């Protein structure tokens, strides 16, 4: 009864300590070949139901369920019908099995593989009223009645919180297939009061035969509470009706999918996995239930889709079949990977073993035996993030350029950028804090970086009380101050040049005015000399006039004075 138990897969390796796994290829592309594991759960009898005859044998390597059908006397004395049917399962859960035991044995191992990067599927199959929805979703009366879906969500988010070595992203989707039409139960833009108001989901297939669901929304869930709220929202929109077999019968197939992506910091490899938790609508005998109207139409679609599912199962079980009819129904198209594809699949057959439904229980067991023959090949889903790959390739190219420059002797002379300086400081800090004697400081072959590291470590040794970050901040502040001072110096130089030009203009103007003043002064001196000569002449004339021989009249003197020219700029 043990399935995919054990610790989570690391580095692409197969889940350890799991019997039946055969991995091939390198660890990065591990492949797990495994048949679908099938379990059985017997529903407790109701008050008015008569118990059928069955027995469980756990002593064999695989537990077996034996159902006994007593002969009916109404068939006559000649009756060749079989009275005993025996079926083998991985494990059989009797009527007293609790929900936590179901989860630990069936869903928990699959969830472990999904966290490791593999796809997983858990689906329940059985007739109407056999306990499929109770097993998958759970009951609403008690907390202990939680089904596989809420317990799986709790377990996954608990494991994600424990693992801090990776960065995880989780999304959920909820698809309902009703009368061969798909509906999105989690679309936030539509508040549906009827099924027809929900957005319809259509199937699209690409050139690689990969299925894509158009109009199916993926809602991000960062914690368990958000994921459970989305589950409850989808459950309120499900198509449920009352039938003679079940007061709250699911009239549609529902697929709740958990999408998980994980990435290690600094790595370009991303792991993407998904877990399908499927609640199939129950098959029912129309003649026995006596339903009609729209319930009859629903039953026809349900039985038809289950018939197509059985055809796919039969085709997969036959080794010589080249064509698998996945496209016959929407449900088989969606579950293509789960059935014979890249997935780890588990099925639980729900059985209502009372006298009235004994035939349907035998049919369910037969279907389960066919499913157990299908072999899936699960591959670790790893892909390369192109953006991170570009960054890594650029770094590799730069390292090669630095190494080539070191070999050829052609070193770059440009200064290191601020980002490069900060990266070097982080490397220096990590190197100094590492107590490993074999640790190394790898900065490439760039002599600029090597020189910077030596200078910086020398500063740290000379200033033991100051961290290198502080030194770096001082360097940065000094560099900023020097830039600011250079700018101010340029401004002062410009202002000084402007003042020099103004001074030169003023000096030239002053020289011109000084020359004018000198000319005026020379003219003034000449005029003063003329006046002195005139006065001397007058005095001599007066002396002569007093003498009899050298006398002349006053009128002549005035006429002589008036004949001396006067300069226009001299004042009176």
Known binding positions for ATP: 126-133
d(CA 278, CA 190): 23
d(CA 163, CA 545): 139
d(CA 233, CA 221): 13
Main-chain dihedrals φ then ψ at residue 200, nearest 5 degrees: -80, 140
d(CA 462, CA 443): 22
The DSSP 8-state label assigned to residue 74 in this structure reads G
Residue identified by tokens 């003023």 is: 506
CB 167 within 8 A of CB 263: yes
Contacts of residue 223, defined as CB under 8 A and 6 or more positions apart, other chains included, come to: 157
What is the dihedral angle through the alpha carbons of 336, 339, 344, 346, rounded to the nearest 10 degrees? 130
How many residues does this entry show for the chain?
Answer: 572
Buried b (16+ CB within 10 A) or exposed e, 326-351: bebbbbbbbbbbbbbbbbbbbbbbbb
d(CA 174, CA 228): 12
Residue identified by tokens 């494991």 is: 159
CB 90 within 8 A of CB 39: yes
Q: 148 — alpha (psi -120 to 50), left (phi > 0) or beta?
A: alpha
Which one, of 3, 84, 86, lies nearest residue 39 by Cα? 3
Annotated binding site: 126-133
Quote the tokens at residue 5: 């138990």
Buried b (16+ CB within 10 A) or exposed e, 73-84: eeeeeeeeeeee
d(CA 345, CA 100): 20
């Amino acid at each position: 009864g043990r399935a995919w138990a054990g610790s989570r897969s690391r580095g692409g390796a197969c889940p350890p300590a799991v019997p039946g796994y055969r991995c091939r290829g390198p660890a990065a592309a591990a492949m797990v070949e495994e048949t679908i594991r099938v379990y059985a759960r017997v529903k407790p009898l109701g008050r008015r139901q008569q118990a059928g005859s069955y027995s469980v044998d756990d002593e064999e390597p695989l537990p077996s369920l034996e159902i006994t059908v007593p002969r009916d006397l109404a068939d006559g004395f000649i009756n060749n019908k079989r009275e005993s049917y025996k079926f083998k399962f991985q494990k059989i859960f009797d009527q007293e099995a609790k929900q936590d035991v179901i989860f630990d044995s069936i869903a928990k191992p699959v969830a472990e593989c999904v966290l490791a990067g593999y796809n997983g599927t858990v689906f329940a199959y059985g007739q109407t009223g056999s306990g499929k929805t109770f097993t998958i979703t759970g009951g609403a009366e008690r907390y202990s009645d939680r089904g596989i879906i809420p317990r799986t969500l709790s377990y996954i988010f608990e494991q994600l919180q424990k693992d801090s070595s990776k960065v995880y992203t989780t999304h959920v989707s909820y698809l309902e297939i009703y009368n061969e039409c798909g509906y999105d139960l989690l679309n936030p833009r539509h508040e549906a009061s009827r099924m027809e108001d929900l957005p319809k989901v259509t199937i699209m297939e690409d050139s690689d035969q990969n299925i894509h669901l158009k109009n199916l929304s993926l809602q991000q869930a960062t914690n368990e509470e958000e994921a459970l709220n989305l589950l409850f929202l989808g459950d309120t929109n499900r198509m449920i009706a009352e039938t003679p077999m079940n007061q709250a019968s699911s009239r549609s197939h529902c697929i709740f999918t958990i999408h998980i992506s994980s990435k290690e910091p600094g790595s370009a490899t991303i792991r993407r996995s998904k877990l399908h938790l499927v609640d199939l609508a129950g098959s029912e005998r129309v003649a026995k239930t006596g339903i009609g109207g729209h319930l009859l139409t629903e039953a026809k679609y349900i039985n038809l889709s289950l018939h197509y599912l059985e055809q796919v199962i039969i085709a997969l079980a036959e080794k010589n079949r080249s064509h698998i009819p996945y496209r016959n129904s929407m449900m088989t198209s969606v579950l293509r990977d789960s059935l014979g594809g890249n997935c780890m699949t588990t099925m639980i057959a729900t059985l209502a073993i009372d006298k009235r439904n004994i035939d349907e229980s035998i049919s369910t067991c037969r279907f389960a035996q066919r499913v157990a023959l299908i072999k899936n090949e699960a591959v670790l889903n790893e892909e390369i993030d192109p953006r991170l790959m570009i960054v890594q390739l650029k770094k590799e190219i730069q390292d090669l350029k630095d190494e080539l420059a070191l070999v050829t002797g052609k070193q770059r002379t440009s200064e290191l950028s601020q980002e490069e300086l900060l990266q070097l400081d982080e490397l220096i800090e990590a190197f100094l804090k590492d107590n490993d004697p074999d640790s190394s400081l790898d900065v490439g072959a760039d002599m600029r970086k090597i020189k910077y590291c030596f200078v910086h470590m020398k500063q740290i040794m000379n200033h033991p009380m100051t961290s290198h970050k502080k030194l770096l901040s001082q360097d940065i502040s000094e560099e900023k101050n020097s830039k600011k001072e250079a700018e101010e110096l340029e401004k002062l130089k410009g202002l000084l040049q402007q003042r020099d030009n103004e001074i030169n203009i003023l000096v030239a103007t002053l020289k011109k005015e000084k020359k004018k003043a000198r000319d005026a002064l020379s003219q003034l001196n000449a005029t003063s000399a003329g006046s002195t000569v005139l006065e001397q002449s007058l005095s001599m004339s007066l002396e002569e006039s007093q003498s009899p021989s050298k006398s002349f009249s006053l009128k002549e003197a005035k006429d002589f004075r008036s004949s001396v020219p006067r300069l226009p700029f001299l004042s009176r």
